[in-house]
Chain A
């Protein structure tokens, strides 16, 4: 009996020695994974990382690597792995940033927002986080929350002209058009050839009553793009505001030759006709667009006044009813002052 036991022990020892000899220099799963990742064999790397993590689940560095590799393959699983990085871990903030990035890239705005707000708490001066939050809020038309983030982002990295453009667009959303001017001027200072900034500045100047500024910026755009309808429209508006009605009419005519169904140009055209006491013509020109702009507030407002002035009283009444509906909707969207 003792001989048998001794024999078994020897066999086990022999197997152990053989295993050790065979595997002494063979790589670990982690090494396999790292090697595969380094050679671009992501599939093998992912497999090996997963294998490693089945045994060493607390290895957050490895989990980060796996999650990063998974972004391109399976973003949902990638997010799951990033989420497993515990708070307090050195990789926690990086993981959150990755989750935010994935969510932003995959249009998962709600998740992105949640994560970005966590990141904002961890580091309020993280430029990327502030900018991302600003952009996210802007795209969901939450201008009120977008503004402080965009402004803070611009403070953190004032040399980035796009941030100033974003601030201007947020101000526009907040119906603070005159407040667009300063950030747009800043954007132009940083990127003198920014067409978008010049065009928006023209619009902002006009909204603020600075007619010469509006005209200067519109002309800058037209020098680069003579067919810029928006710039033509602003120049025509400036001419109208300065009492140069022939110039205004010529400008709007040119704009409409390029964009015959541009609603703002049509409204301007109708304005001029009404000023010249031609309400029937104004009504006819506006009426042509009714089908495509039946819910465009400013269009309906203009059509209502042209209809009333040209004797289409019942129609004017109906349009005002439609405007009431749109107005109620718009009022709901206005940020209410908190009691």
Chain B
């Protein structure tokens, strides 16, 4: 072959390579986006005026509830379009009636990146040991209400619509005094108003508090009691009667058909794809429960056979927090459960007929073996259309290192990038300084607080400062932001499912009342669609069964989709 021929051939080969590479960029934009853009979060708590310090002083005897932390929730209480932040507070075991006890705090978002404390003016002062924060518009008046479960009396704060709330738990019969943990709003019977599910943890009576000691290597330590061996409590289901009052239907709804458990996390969404909202409950050291709804508000626990009661080898784990979302892009909500140190967290893939534990296969087992995880948030950090995962970690025993155990109390938080639905990669190391700080993480909740089209994160830490993490991911895909307004179904769009078609992508997201651990995300849905400027269509499946479609939905604005206003088509 002549040198000229060789040169031409080489030139053609080079051209072919360039074409192939260019094709890759054209035809697989998501792949490029996914692997080139580092996820970035910046702690902006200080500049945003988030000066909240959680207080739960640990006692010498190690009273267990003092390790549980408190929840957090995003809600746009004044409907100004800027999500506000509610933060639960702990409480010292002694001096219970002291007026010096710090309160839960409510921080109003000014829209300029700064939050101001409006706890008192909003009449949200609460000095209980707060646990779960559930946000939902239970009276369909358009203003989000807040339910706060506690180690003590649970509280229901009705949003008066005038930037203030009224505490009405006793009047409305939802003032349970047991040790409530996560709670969530959901319309269980399709009557268009939100019912309330409250998980209860353990029976830890103040006057008869179980205290334990643990001996290792010849030394004895006070230690929180193993929950499996304590008295468990049934969870509660309250039916919204539509007149502002609630009825405890826990027994009638089937929730007391088995043994009481020790619930910490709960999520409400349609897990069996039959149009009815179901509940999945993470229980500490005993079987998790999957309450399948028959449509009328009667539930059967199908967790064992559905494959979500235990892990892949049949072991019950120490379930703490939960996240649900369509991780693999098949349109079905998958489940993620946080667990104890030495176990792994567990990721259950929804198969349509049940779930498969694919934690190891999705790369989530190894990074979680040496963590004790609580909060978990599935959200699309880079708007590539795939749900990424944040996990808040922190132990419940302080004495492990003194026992010679490599189990630190404060641990590193983690951020995992969803790699096109097939797997997660640990992105923590490159995602910002926050992920290099050892903390005792508990609750986590998501909102685009600065309305820049990127989802941000608030995290609660046991006996630590609350942290506001602004999403600073440099190059992100576009986002369709949706505010749902139910007319026949619950007004805040709770449990509606949204399917966005954009280019070759079909992205399914559900509006979920509460998730993570003790937390509630902002109700506005932010759905990343990668490089697409316009969503071809947005389909909404309302809880009552109605399906509607909106066509050619641009990505540059927030869309208020009102039930009945879309095109009724399949």
Taking beta carbons and an 8 Å cutoff, which residues of A are in contact with B? Answer: 144, 147-148, 151, 175-179, 182, 207-211, 237, 240-243, 245, 267, 271, 274-275, 277, 297-298, 300-302, 304-305, 308-309, 313, 316-317, 320, 323, 327, 331, 336-339
Interface mask (B224-237 → A, CB under 8 Å = 1, otherwise 0): 01101100000000
Known: A271-B360, A337-B223. 14 other contacts (CB 8 A): A147-B217, A175-B342, A176-B405, A178-B369, A179-B406, A208-B370, A209-B367, A209-B369, A241-B360, A301-B310, A305-B314, A313-B305, A317-B304, A317-B305
The residue on A at minimum CB distance from B306 is A308
Question: What residues on B are CB-neighbors of A240 within 8 Å?
Answer: 360-361
Are B342 and A178 touching (Cβ within 8 A)? yes
Contacts A151-B217, A178-B342 hold; do A297 and B314 have CB atoms under 8 A apart? yes
Are A243 and B422 touching (Cβ within 8 A)? yes
Question: What residues on A are CB-neighbors of B370 within 8 Å?
Answer: 178, 208-209
Are B366 and A241 touching (Cβ within 8 A)? yes
Question: What residues on B are CB-neighbors of A177 within 8 Å?
Answer: 342
**How many A-B Cβ pairs are below 8 Å?**
118
Are B226 and A300 touching (Cβ within 8 A)? no
The residue on A at minimum CB distance from B220 is A338
The residue on A at minimum CB distance from B316 is A327
In whole angstroms, how far apart are the Cα atoms of A241 and B107 in the complex?
Answer: 42
The residue on B at minimum CB distance from A303 is B314
Question: What residues on A are CB-neighbors of B228 within 8 Å?
Answer: 331
Question: What residues on B are CB-neighbors of A182 within 8 Å?
Answer: 406
Are A339 and B351 touching (Cβ within 8 A)? no
25 contacts between A and B (CB under 8 A): A144-B215, A147-B216, A178-B370, A179-B405, A208-B370, A209-B368, A209-B369, A210-B366, A237-B360, A241-B363, A242-B363, A243-B422, A267-B313, A275-B361, A297-B315, A302-B313, A304-B314, A308-B305, A308-B354, A309-B307, A331-B228, A336-B226, A337-B212, A337-B225, A339-B212
In whole angstroms, how far apart are the Cα atoms of A9 and B307 in the complex?
Answer: 106
Are A209 and B356 touching (Cβ within 8 A)? no
In whole angstroms, how far apart are the Cα atoms of A243 and B418 in the complex?
Answer: 13
The residue on A at minimum CB distance from B423 is A243
Contacts A305-B356, A308-B305, A336-B229 hold; do A243 and B361 have CB atoms under 8 A apart? yes
Question: Which of B210, B212, B304, B316 counts the most A-chain CB atoms under 10 A from its CB?
Answer: B304
Are A323 and B314 touching (Cβ within 8 A)? yes
In whole angstroms, how far apart are the Cα atoms of A322 and B532 in the complex?
Answer: 52
Question: Which of A267, A304, A316 counts the most B-chain CB atoms under 10 A from its CB?
Answer: A304
Q: Tell whether B358 is near chain A: CB-to-CB under 8 Å.
A: yes
In whole angstroms, how far apart are the Cα atoms of A130 and B238 in the complex?
Answer: 59
Are B313 and A298 touching (Cβ within 8 A)? yes
In whole angstroms, how far apart are the Cα atoms of A151 and B216 in the complex?
Answer: 11
Question: What residues on A are CB-neighbors of B304 within 8 Å?
Answer: 304, 308, 316-317, 320
Contacts A208-B370, A338-B213, A338-B214 hold; do A271 and B312 have CB atoms under 8 A apart? yes
In whole angstroms, how far apart are the Cα atoms of A271 and B312 in the complex?
Answer: 8
Name the distance in Å between B448's Cβ and chain A's nearest Cβ: 31
Question: What residues on B are CB-neighbors of A242 within 8 Å?
Answer: 363
Question: What residues on B are CB-neighbors of A308 within 8 Å?
Answer: 304-307, 354
Size band of the interface chain B makes with A = 35 or more
Are A297 and B363 touching (Cβ within 8 A)? no
Question: What residues on B are CB-neighbors of A209 within 8 Å?
Answer: 344, 365-370
Please give me the 4 A-B residue pairs with the lowest Cβ-Cβ distance, nearest first: A301-B314, A209-B369, A209-B366, A301-B313
Are B369 and A207 touching (Cβ within 8 A)? yes
Name the distance in Å between B370's Cβ and chain A's nearest Cβ: 6
Tell me which residues from 351 to 401 in chain B have a Cβ below 8 Å from any Cβ of chain A.
351, 353-354, 356-358, 360-361, 363, 365-370
Name the distance in Å between A233's Cβ and chain B's nearest Cβ: 13
The residue on B at minimum CB distance from A308 is B305
Name the distance in Å between B221's Cβ and chain A's nearest Cβ: 10
Q: Tell whether B252 is near chain A: CB-to-CB under 8 Å.
A: no
Are B313 and A243 touching (Cβ within 8 A)? no
Are B315 and A301 touching (Cβ within 8 A)? yes
Are B313 and A297 touching (Cβ within 8 A)? yes
Are A275 and B213 touching (Cβ within 8 A)? no
Are A148 and B305 touching (Cβ within 8 A)? no
Are B210 and A339 touching (Cβ within 8 A)? yes
Question: What residues on B are CB-neighbors of A331 within 8 Å?
Answer: 228
Q: Tell whether B429 is near chain A: CB-to-CB under 8 Å.
A: no
Specify which of B212, B214, B312, B368 is in contact with A301 (CB 8 Å cutoff).
B312
Specify which of A148, A336, A339 is in contact with B217 (CB 8 Å cutoff).
A148
Are A337 and B214 touching (Cβ within 8 A)? yes
Contacts A175-B342, A208-B370, A304-B314 hold; do A338 and B215 have CB atoms under 8 A apart? yes
Q: Tell whether B211 is near chain A: CB-to-CB under 8 Å.
A: yes
Name the distance in Å between B411's Cβ and chain A's nearest Cβ: 13
Contacts A208-B370, A309-B307 hold; do A298 and B210 have CB atoms under 8 A apart? no
Question: What residues on A are CB-neighbors of B406 within 8 Å?
Answer: 178-179, 182
Tell me which residues from 307 to 340 in chain B have a Cβ below 8 Å from any Cβ of chain A.
307, 310-316
In whole angstroms, how far apart are the Cα atoms of A151 and B217 in the complex?
Answer: 8
Question: What residues on A are CB-neighbors of B353 within 8 Å?
Answer: 309
In whole angstroms, how far apart are the Cα atoms of A336 and B228 in the complex?
Answer: 10
Question: What residues on B are CB-neighbors of A148 within 8 Å?
Answer: 216-218
Name the distance in Å between A180's Cβ and chain B's nearest Cβ: 11
In whole angstroms, how far apart are the Cα atoms of A269 and B195 in the complex?
Answer: 44
In whole angstroms, how far apart are the Cα atoms of A176 and B213 in the complex?
Answer: 19
Question: What residues on A are CB-neighbors of B405 within 8 Å?
Answer: 176, 179
In whole angstroms, how far apart are the Cα atoms of A316 and B353 in the complex?
Answer: 14
The residue on B at minimum CB distance from A322 is B314
Name the distance in Å between B195's Cβ and chain A's nearest Cβ: 29
Are B307 and A305 touching (Cβ within 8 A)? yes
Are A151 and B404 touching (Cβ within 8 A)? yes
Question: What residues on B are CB-neighbors of A176 within 8 Å?
Answer: 342, 405
In whole angstroms, how far apart are the Cα atoms of A243 and B359 in the complex?
Answer: 11
Are B217 and A277 touching (Cβ within 8 A)? no
Name the distance in Å between B160's Cβ and chain A's nearest Cβ: 47
Are B369 and A208 touching (Cβ within 8 A)? yes
Are B361 and A339 touching (Cβ within 8 A)? no
Name the distance in Å between A89's Cβ and chain B's nearest Cβ: 30
Question: What residues on B are CB-neighbors of A241 within 8 Å?
Answer: 360-361, 363, 365-366
Contacts A179-B406, A209-B370, A338-B214 hold; do A274 and B314 have CB atoms under 8 A apart? no
Tell me which residues from 181 to 228 in chain B have a Cβ below 8 Å from any Cβ of chain A.
210-218, 223, 225-226, 228
Question: What residues on B are CB-neighbors of A298 within 8 Å?
Answer: 313-314
Name the distance in Å between B146's Cβ and chain A's nearest Cβ: 36
Are B213 and A337 touching (Cβ within 8 A)? yes
Question: What residues on A are CB-neighbors of B354 within 8 Å?
Answer: 308-309
In whole angstroms, how far apart are the Cα atoms of A304 and B217 in the complex?
Answer: 38
Are A277 and B368 touching (Cβ within 8 A)? no
Question: What residues on A are CB-neighbors of B357 within 8 Å?
Answer: 305
Name the distance in Å between B354's Cβ and chain A's nearest Cβ: 6
Question: What residues on A are CB-neighbors of B313 within 8 Å?
Answer: 267, 297-298, 301-302
In whole angstroms, how far apart are the Cα atoms of A297 and B365 in the complex?
Answer: 20
Question: What residues on B are CB-neighbors of A210 within 8 Å?
Answer: 366
The residue on A at minimum CB distance from B422 is A243
Question: What residues on B are CB-neighbors of A277 within 8 Å?
Answer: 351, 356
Are A316 and B305 touching (Cβ within 8 A)? yes
Name the distance in Å between A236's Cβ and chain B's nearest Cβ: 11
Are A339 and B211 touching (Cβ within 8 A)? yes
Name the distance in Å between B6's Cβ and chain A's nearest Cβ: 37
Are B314 and A309 touching (Cβ within 8 A)? no
